[in-house]
Amino acid sequence: MYTQTEASFRGLLPLLKPHIRKLILGGVSMSIYVICWPLLAWLAGELIPSIGDGDFLKVSRVIILALFVFLVQKIAQFIQDTILAGPALFISQELRSDVFRKLQRVELTRLEKLSSGDIAYRLTEDADRVGEVIYKTIQDTTPCLLQLVAVFAYMLYLDWRLSIATLLLAPIVTLLVSNFGAKVMHAAEISQRQVSDLAGLLGEAIQSLSLVRAFAAEEWMQKRFNKEINLHRKARFRTLRLLAFQHPVVGFIEASGILGILAIGAARIQSGGLDSQGFSSFIAALLMLIDPISHLTTNFNEFKQGQASLRRLRELEKEPCEQIDIPNATVIKKGTGQILIKDLSFSYVAEKEVLKEIDIKIMPGQVVALVGPSGAGKSTLFSLLLRFIKPQKGNIYFDGHDLYKIRVQDLRKQIALVPQRVTVLSGTILEAIKFGRNATKKEVEKAALIANAHDFISELPDGYETKLEERGTNVSGGQLQRIAIARAVLGNPSVLLLDEATSSLDAEAESAVQLALSQAMQNRTVLVIAHRLSTVQEADQIIVLERGSVAQQGNHDELISKGGRYKELCSRQLIRHQ
Ligand code: ADP
């Protein structure tokens, strides 16, 4: 559950601190803008009876004065709006950036459960809405509120009795507004949830477009999509209907109120409590209340919708984070690549152990093949080594240091991953290999040479500056894998975690990747989730994982001569023969 304060905009106020000068300057302009309203009401009181009297000279004087006040007011409004836009935009940018920063640290197991479409929606649409609310609050709601106060104070000065009568209207309007506000907020939340479900489904659907086609499941997918957009339409309609109902009701109440006040005003003039000039000013001031009230009503609804968006953004921030470094975490520079796994057990969900009492010792420079059926826990072991997750029992030692006491940045510089499915971000090949690290062109080229990628990259028209398309579709699968290998070896890590690709490449591409791998593996400890018999045969150690336990351990010849699970796996071709 999220408390009101967590979704409150007040929590964002500290972000305004660095902009205090702009806020003061904006505030001064806002005060000038607001003060002009009662001044204009007073001028209206001067003007209207003079028009009735046909006093052209006075009318001209007052009109010129009114024009001047209007001019000053509009200039002040312009200055206020421009100056205050900066801090407002800054807050929404900070908020988006904070959430994204947090997202980068959310536990990967949690992240996998969130839909990428939903996250994207929250960071774009929701963040935009919050930004708009912040902008409106600073630049519209605040001056409207001040205008109400200033104009009403002037009305009290003119005739407090008539003002009190006017004030009686306010609670009725406020009650109606807040009642509707709550309903609109609820409807808006439902509608936003629908949109983000829709975005989630869309994300999924786009990723699996080819799969859907392959199974001729377009109709089924269309139905799922239609069902989702239907729900979205209904939810949106509910919000719009409420809004449609709200405007006429509030409008009618306002109109009745004004007519009532005209009647009371006439009585006040008759009794001599107010002159016609004062009454004209009063009516002008009253009319000046309508606009800010209507703005405040709309802004209040948007504010409620914005609150729902802010809550959804804050929900992301509530996701559990990866454990951060302990104080005084061990700093390591270049490791030897020795790994010791001791009595390690791990479960994603309580009472369902994915790894059970694992003991593995890997010496520097060894190649260790992890084999076993899918679901045995091989990838989980990689996640543990990369410290994405923490074991419930046992420990891992890297070069003799407790893995969880090492600075995570240092650790991840030492352990590089070549995933099974290579993903690259859009950008140049150079950027894809660097992946945010500081490296010279020479270092990148050296990594590409090791990864057997330098030649093909150099032959591309733009060389290292070639732009990779989304998911690397403008280079072949084998080339993409070599880019991923270059990316992994760039920092000269002491350990390479290799998840062998299962999809087969053609013989030529395969041998190019194999060469890249054998070069990349030199002078490094390598843990490889192996699907190829050749990799397994050449490994110094083979670890057969089965349902989370080490079933067998040894090299190829030892395990074949011993017989058992490994031999069975080989003969059942669970390890792919070349
Ligand atoms: P392998 O790599 O050997 O195929 P994994 O390490 O991916 O096996 O998975 C081991 C077990 O852990 C499987 O039963 C899998 O369903 C489960 N598992 C993997 N990732 C998660 C996760 N994020 N949350 C819950 N269970 C998971």
Q: What is the pLDDT of residues 111-157, one digit of tens each?
A: 777 888 888 888 888 888 888 888 888 889 999 999 999 999 999 99
- The answer to whether 402 and 342 have CB atoms below 8 angstroms apart is no
The neighbour count for residue 452, using CB atoms within 10 Å, is 23
Q: ∠ CA 423-444-422 to the nearest 5 degrees?
A: 10
* CB of 374 closer than 6 angstroms to any ligand 1 atom: yes
Which amino acid, residue 370? L
Output the six-digit token pair for 195: 């949109």
Dihedral in degrees, nearest 10, Cα atoms 460, 463, 468, 474: 0
pLDDT at 319: 84
pLDDT of residue 365 exceeding 80: yes
The set of residues, in sequence order, having a beta carbon less than 8 Å from that of 433 and lying 6+ positions away, is 439, 444, 447, 448, 464, 483, 486, 487, 490
Rg (CA), the chain: 35
Q: How far apart are CA 431 and CA 413, in angstroms?
A: 17
The answer to whether the beta carbons of residues 439 and 490 sit under 8 Å apart is: yes
Q: Which residue has the higher pLDDT, 475 or 528?
A: 528
Is any ligand 1 atom within 6 A of the Cβ of residue 354? Answer: yes
CA 572 to ligand 1 centroid distance, Å: 23
What is the reported pLDDT for 68?
A: 96
User: What pLDDT is recorded for position 477?
Assistant: 84
Q: Is the CB of 350 under 6 A from ligand 1?
A: no
Q: What is the β-pairing status of strands 339-347 and 427-428?
A: unpaired
Q: What is the pTM of this model?
A: 0.69
Rounded to the nearest angstrom, the distance between the alpha carbon of 344 and the centre of ligand 1 is: 16
**Strand 393-398 to strand 339-347: parallel, antiparallel, or no bridges (unpaired)?**
antiparallel
The pLDDT of residue 2: 41
| Mutation probe of ligand 1 site: the residue of 355, 380, 531, 546 with most atoms within 8 A of C-beta | 380
Dist. CA 546 → ligand 1 center (Å): 12
Mutate-to-test residue for ligand 1 from 379, 500, 547, highest number of ligand atoms within 8 A of CB? 379
Ligand 1 contact, 386 CB (< 6 A): no
Residue 377 CB less than 6 A away from ligand 1: yes
Rounded to 5°, the CA angle 31-34-40 comes to 135
CA distance 141 to 295: 7
Residue 547 Cα to ligand 1 middle (Å): 10
Probe target for ligand 1 pocket from 354, 529, 531, with the most ligand atoms within 8 Å of CB: 354
Domain limits, the chain: 9-317, 339-572
CATH 3.40.50.300 for domain 339-572:
yes
- Cβ 379 under 6 angstroms from ligand 1: yes
- Please list, residue by residue across 250-277, b when 16 or more beta carbons sit within 10 angstroms of its beta carbon and e when fewer do: beeebeebbeebeeebeebeeeeebeeb
CA distances from residue 102 to 94, 315, 325 in whole angstroms, order as listed: 12, 11, 15
> Alpha carbon 521 to chain centroid distance?
37
Do the beta carbons of residue 522 and residue 494 sit within 8 Å? no
Between CA 77 and CA 70 the distance in angstroms is: 10
**Mean per-residue pLDDT over the chain, rounded:** 85
Q: If we measure between CA atoms, which residue out of 159, 557, 494 comes closest to residue 332?
A: 494
> For a pocket test of ligand 1, which of 113, 114, 348 has the largest count of ligand atoms closer than 8 A to its C-beta?
348
| pLDDT for position 574 | 56
395 has pLDDT over 90:
yes
Which residues have a Cβ under 8 Å from the Cβ of 186 and sit 6 or more positions away? none
User: What separation in Å is there between the alpha carbon of 355 and the centre of ligand 1?
Assistant: 10
How many whole angstroms from 545 Cα to the centroid of ligand 1? Answer: 13
pLDDT value for 169: 65
Which residue's CA is the nearest one to ligand 1's atom 5? 377
- Position 241 scores a pLDDT of 82
pLDDT for residue 65 is more than 50: yes
Return d(Cα 152, Cα 160) in angstroms, integer: 10
For residue 370, which atom of ligand 1 is closest to its CA?
3
Amino acid present at 455: D
H-run or E-run covering 92: helix 56-103
Look at residue 494 and tell me whether its pLDDT is greater than 90: yes
Question: Which two structure tokens, joined as six digits, stand for 512?
Answer: 């190019």
Cβ of residue 112 lying under 6 Å from some atom of ligand 1 = yes
Given this model, what pLDDT does residue 505 score? 74
Cα–Cα distance measured from residue 573 to residue 569, given in angstroms and rounded to the nearest whole number: 6
Task: Output DSSP code: residue 374.
Answer: T
Between 79 and 419, the higher pLDDT residue: 79
Q: Which residue has the tokens 């001791």?
A: 342
Q: Which pLDDT score is estimated for 176?
A: 64
| pLDDT tens sequence across 10-30 | 777 788 888 899 999 999 999
Looking at domain 9-317, which CATH architecture does it have? Up-down Bundle (1.20)
Helix axes 127-136, 276-317, angle to 10 degrees: 150
State mean pLDDT over 272-300. 87
What pLDDT does 180 receive?
66
pLDDT at site 171? 66
CA angle 49, 54, 55 (to 5 degrees): 80
Residue 193 confidence (pLDDT) = 79
For ligand 1, atom 12: residue with the closest CA: 354
Atom 22 of ligand 1 has which residue's CA nearest to it? Answer: 109
pLDDT beyond 70 at 178: no
Give whole-number Cα distances, 566 to 65, 113, 347, 498, in Å: 97, 34, 25, 20
Average pLDDT over residues 494-511: 82
Q: What is the pLDDT of residue 427?
A: 85
pLDDT, tens only, 259-279: 877 888 888 888 888 888 898
Sequence-ordered list of residues with C-beta below 8 angstroms from that of 221, at least 6 positions apart, any chain: 205, 212
For residue 529, what pLDDT is reported?
A: 92
The pLDDT value given to residue 485: 93
Which pLDDT belongs to residue 578? 47
For residue 61, name the pLDDT band (cuts at 50, 70, 90): very high
Confidence of residue 1 (pLDDT cuts 50, 70, 90): very low
> Rounded to an integer, what distance in angstroms lies between the CA atom of residue 574 and that of residue 372?
8
Is the beta carbon of 109 within 6 A of some atom in ligand 1? yes
pLDDT at 369 over 60: yes
Give the residue whose CA is nearest to atom 11 of ligand 1. Answer: 375
Which residues lie below 8 Å from residue 3, measured CB to CB, with a gap of 6+? none
Q: In sequence order, which residues have a C-beta less than 8 Å from that of residue 306 and are 6 or more positions away?
A: 9, 129, 130, 132, 133, 134
Q: Mean pLDDT over residues 382-390, rounded?
A: 90
Q: Is the CB of 237 under 6 A from ligand 1?
A: no
Highest mean pLDDT among 170-179, 430-439, 465-474: 430-439
Which whole number is the average pLDDT over 441-457? 92
Over 50: is that where the pLDDT of 159 sits? yes
534-568 tens-digit pLDDT:
788 888 999 999 899 999 999 888 888 888 888 88
Least confident window among 15-29, 71-85, 187-201, 505-519: 187-201
Atom of ligand 1 nearest to the CA of 372: 3
Nearest CA to ligand 1 atom 24: 348
Name the residue with the closest Cα to ligand 1, atom 27: 348
Q: How much is the pLDDT for 96?
A: 87
> Ligand 1 atom closest to Cα of 348?
25
Angle between helices 276-317 and 142-158 (to 10 degrees): 150
Identify the weakest region by mean pLDDT among 62-66, 325-329, 551-555: 325-329
Per DSSP, 330 falls in state B
Cα(569) to ligand 1 centroid in Å equals: 20
Percent of the chain surpassing pLDDT 90: 30
Q: Is the CB of 108 under 6 A from ligand 1?
A: no
Query: pLDDT band at residue 364, thresholds of 50, 70 and 90?
Result: very high
